[in-house]
């Protein structure tokens, strides 16, 4: 239906282009008849769809990265000569899953996930959540305690608000 314009929009999101600029590009592609938009679809709707698809691809890639790094923890340790080889393998696996990704974009996503994994596996929070205790979100695992930090949930492979008890339990089970 609108595969060419959608792929253009997705590529622009991966490059970091602003939303309004992508919408302008989609409109221009429609005007130049690269591919015409259906009458019931606007450029903004197509751009929103592209943004959601890119986000889903990133989530899928991060799951692959986190699982691979968990399975190869010995190779991923700091100072291990195999670490760079493992990183290359992870990037290749991500590009096999998402073949439309450029190498630089895939490496950037993989590097960020590896840094977050290294922080999470050491037991430290990936991101702190500030504010009064009443405003803190509930833990994504137990749904009871308040979470003051986002940590890697080893069950869902997502960075989520987690209480210290649930995070330490998951780390103990992992080790």
Query: pLDDT digit of tens for each residue in the chain (175 aa)?
Result: 568 888 999 999 899 889 889 889 888 888 888 888 888 888 889 899 999 999 999 999 999 999 999 898 888 888 888 989 999 999 999 999 999 999 999 999 999 999 999 888 888 898 898 888 888 899 999 998 899 899 988 888 889 999 989 988 988 887 7
pTM, two decimals, is: 0.81
Phi, psi dihedrals of residue 32, rounded to the nearest 5°: -80, 0
The Cα-based distances of 137 to 1, 96, 116, 128, 152 in angstroms read 40, 36, 20, 12, 15
d(CA 78, CA 84): 10
**Cβ(137)–Cβ(100) under 8 Å?**
no
Phi, psi dihedrals of residue 162, rounded to the nearest 5°: -140, 145
d(CA 58, CA 112): 11
């Amino acid at each position: 239906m609108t595969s060419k314009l959608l792929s253009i929009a997705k590529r622009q999101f991966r490059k970091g282009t602003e939303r309004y600029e992508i919408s302008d590009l989609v409109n221009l592609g429609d005007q130049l008849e690269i591919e015409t938009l259906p009458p019931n679809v606007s450029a903004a709707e197509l751009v929103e769809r592209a943004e959601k698809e890119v986000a889903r691809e990133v989530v899928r890639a991060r799951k692959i990265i986190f699982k691979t790094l968990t399975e190869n923890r010995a190779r991923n340790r700091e100072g291990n000569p195999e670490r760079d080889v493992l990183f290359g393998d992870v990037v290749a696996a991500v590009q096999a899953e998402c073949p439309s990704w450029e190498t630089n974009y895939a490496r950037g996503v993989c590097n960020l996930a590896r840094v977050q994994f290294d922080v999470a596996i050491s037991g430290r929070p990936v991101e702190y959540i500030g504010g009064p205790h009443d405003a803190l979100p509930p833990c994504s695992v137990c749904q009871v305690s308040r979470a003051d930090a986002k940590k890697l949930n080893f069950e869902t492979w997502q960075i989520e608000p987690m209480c210290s008890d649930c995070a330490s339990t998951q780390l103990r089970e992992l080790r």
